[in-house]
Structure 1
Amino acid sequence: MSAAPLAGMTAVVTGGSGGIGTACARALAADGARVLIMGRREEALEAARSRIVADLPDAQVAVFAGDALSEKDVGDALAKAYALADRLDILVPAVGGGGFAPFLSSSVADLRRDLDLNITSAFIAMQLGAKLMREGGSIICISSTAATLPFPALATYCASKAGLEGLIRTVADELGALGIRVNAVRPGLTRSDATRDMFASPAVIDRFLEQTPLKRTGEPEDIAAAVAYLASPAASWVTGQSFAVDGGQELRRNPDLLGAA
């Protein structure tokens, strides 16, 4: 039997107690990586760690409670991960978010919030993490179909995810000489804590399914599988890309939820 593709590697996942973040951490651990998950609430991180270890008893999973918008906290988390085996190979900045509001009702504060959540958090993690990738590595950000498809009532979120993908392309270009690959996964509507209210509304889900050729919504494991691929040697010639994992939704459009019940 061949060795696990990520055996011996160390990974960090920010936003690691969220649905997608935890699924990513589990997928990386299943492929042999030691993993540190970072988030703001230690209790939630410990719960996520327990779920991963329950499924993968041999997994090495560390936690660090801190703010993804704090350079000190992120630096301390990365240092703790690096100290596990004197290396950092994989970084998944999974922090993100935004709120629904029609454009004419949105505020500058809304825009700044979404830029911070979706760009600044990734910028900090990538800049500090890349400095610890002594032998190259893989950075995988979590974008959204909103980066390329207009989404009524999500103007600030769309702008921030589009900006994230612009950042990824330039960082990938610069860091290629260091053997560091930088990519993103672009989820469609995926079940998570952040989308709980949307999944609670059959009318909203129906509107998404109308625009999804594969006729189902996403699960965190769908996104995690793509992250694990991009982290692996199988993707060793892939950088600067944003891969849609969306059931084909990008072939159509985002629904207009302004009038959804």
Structure 2
Amino acid sequence: MGVLTGKTALVTGASRGIGRTIATKLAQEGALVAVHFHADRAAADKTLDTIASSGGQAFALKAQLGVPQDAETLYGEFDAGLARYGRAPRLDILVNNAGTSGSARIDEVTPELFDRIFAVNAKALLFVVQQGLQRMREGGRIINVSSAATRIAYPESVAYAMSKGAVDTLTLALAKELGPRGITVNAVRPGFIETDMNRAKRSTPEAAAQLASWSVFDRIGQPSDVADIVAFLASDASRWITGQCIDASGGSRL
């Protein structure tokens, strides 16, 4: 039996990339995983197929984040999905992975870009947590996916870095607030991770080598490098860790 057997997990933005690998890892450890997606149903189905092929259990739920009533829509789908498994609307593990980015220096940022990034990366996350707490069991786990961009100067995408800084601040506040319930709250800060979304940035051997050189291990990070850390934070083994922002960048730009 996996260390998460009997647990229920919700992973936002789980149709591809880091989110897909996190959802798959949690399911391998025994959790029933709610796979959230926004628009790409085929990608979400691929996540479900990957989980099923290894004997795990999961269901998909569709909800757009960063719009009015996003958390209500998300949890309406979540509750309905659990009902199909004969489970009450209870939550043990919440992984806030969904996010959006936008490359723009300070003189290029527009109000529209700023609002879109913060609506998804910060505002939606806050209210997804708020409503999730109504369903979360004592001793639950909240893991927020932040970014290594919060510990370095990242002028190439200043609004994105600012939004992830908000995630780190929220992580601290939640950890203190929820300690009496035995709920741990931590953030994971990935560096550059190889996913379909950033394929263009490593399209040449020279570009890939440059990205790999950021890490002390001289390689590009893989989604599993992040998912394994999230799985640890979701387990009872992490019970004495809370309020932490854990670097998951392979020592990038030390």
Q: What TM-score results when the alignment is normalised by the length of structure 1?
A: 0.89
- The AA in structure 1 aligned to 2:171 is I
Query: Greater CA deviation, 86-95 or 8-17?
Result: 86-95
Relative distance call for 1:103 and 1:10 in structure 2 (3 A) is: same
Relative distance call for 1:109 and 1:179 in structure 2 (3 A) is: same
Matched residue, 1:239:
242
Matched residue, 1:160:
163
Q: Tell whether the 8 Å contact from 1:142 to 1:185 is kept in structure 2 after alignment.
A: yes
| Alignment map for 1:14-53 (pairs within 5 Å) | 14-41=12-39, 42-53=41-52
Matched residue, 2:198:
195
Matched residue, 1:254:
none
Q: Tell whether the 8 Å contact from 1:95 to 1:121 is kept in structure 2 after alignment.
A: no
Q: Tell whether the 8 Å contact from 1:188 to 1:246 is kept in structure 2 after alignment.
A: yes
Matched residue, 2:224:
221
- 1: CA distance, partners of 2:135 / 2:204: 44
User: Does 2:183 correspond to 1:180?
Assistant: yes
| Alignment map for 1:205-216 (pairs within 5 Å) | 205-216=208-219
Q: Tell whether the 8 Å contact from 1:145 to 1:250 is kept in structure 2 after alignment.
A: no
- 2: CA distance, partners of 1:76 / 1:224: 26
- 1: CA distance, partners of 2:236 / 2:122: 27
Query: Greater CA deviation, 193-202 or 207-216?
Result: 193-202
Q: Kindly report the root-mean-square deviation, in angstroms, between the aligned alpha carbons of the 2 structures.
A: 1.6
Relative distance call for 1:81 and 1:241 in structure 2 (3 A) is: farther
State the shift of 1:81 in Å. Answer: 5.0
- 1: CA distance, partners of 2:253 / 2:142: 23
Unaligned stretches of 5+ residues in structure 2: none
Query: Greater CA deviation, 147-156 or 25-34?
Result: 147-156
State the shift of 1:25 in Å. Answer: 0.5
State the shift of 1:208 in Å. Answer: 2.7
Matched residue, 1:258:
none
Q: Tell whether the 8 Å contact from 2:193 to 2:223 is kept in structure 1 after alignment.
A: yes
Q: Tell whether the 8 Å contact from 2:11 to 2:35 is kept in structure 1 after alignment.
A: yes
- 1: CA distance, partners of 2:81 / 2:153: 38
For residues 39-76 of structure 1, what are the alpha-carbon distances to aligned partners after superposition, in whole Å with 9 as ceiling and x for unaligned?
A: 1132321121112212x1x3111111111331221221
For residues 105-157 of structure 1, what are the alpha-carbon distances to aligned partners after superposition, in whole Å with 9 as ceiling and x for unaligned?
A: 11122211211221122112211111101333001111110111111311111
Matched residue, 2:114:
111
For residues 152-195 of structure 1, what are the alpha-carbon distances to aligned partners after superposition, in whole Å with 9 as ceiling and x for unaligned?
A: 31111111111110011101110111121111111010012332
For residue 104 of structure 1, give the secondary structure of its aligned residue in structure 2: coil
- The AA in structure 2 aligned to 1:231 is A
State the shift of 1:205 in Å. Answer: 2.9
Matched residue, 1:65:
62
Identity of aligned residues (%): 34
- The AA in structure 2 aligned to 1:67 is Q
Query: Greater CA deviation, 5-14 or 173-182?
Result: 173-182
Query: Greater CA deviation, 87-96 or 102-111?
Result: 102-111
Residue correspondences, number:
247
- 2: CA distance, partners of 1:77 / 1:71: 10
For residues 189-248 of structure 1, what are the alpha-carbon distances to aligned partners after superposition, in whole Å with 9 as ceiling and x for unaligned?
A: 001233222122444333333332110111111110010000000001111111111111
- 2: CA distance, partners of 1:242 / 1:45: 28
For residues 80-104 of structure 1, what are the alpha-carbon distances to aligned partners after superposition, in whole Å with 9 as ceiling and x for unaligned?
A: 3554432310011111121112221
Unaligned stretches of 5+ residues in structure 1: 252-261
Q: Tell whether the 8 Å contact from 2:51 to 2:57 is kept in structure 1 after alignment.
A: no
For residue 107 of structure 2, give the secondary structure of its aligned residue in structure 1: helix
Matched residue, 2:139:
136
Matched residue, 2:76:
76
- 2: CA distance, partners of 1:198 / 1:161: 21
Q: Tell whether the 8 Å contact from 1:93 to 1:121 is kept in structure 2 after alignment.
A: no
- The AA in structure 1 aligned to 2:25 is A
Relative distance call for 1:119 and 1:209 in structure 2 (3 A) is: same
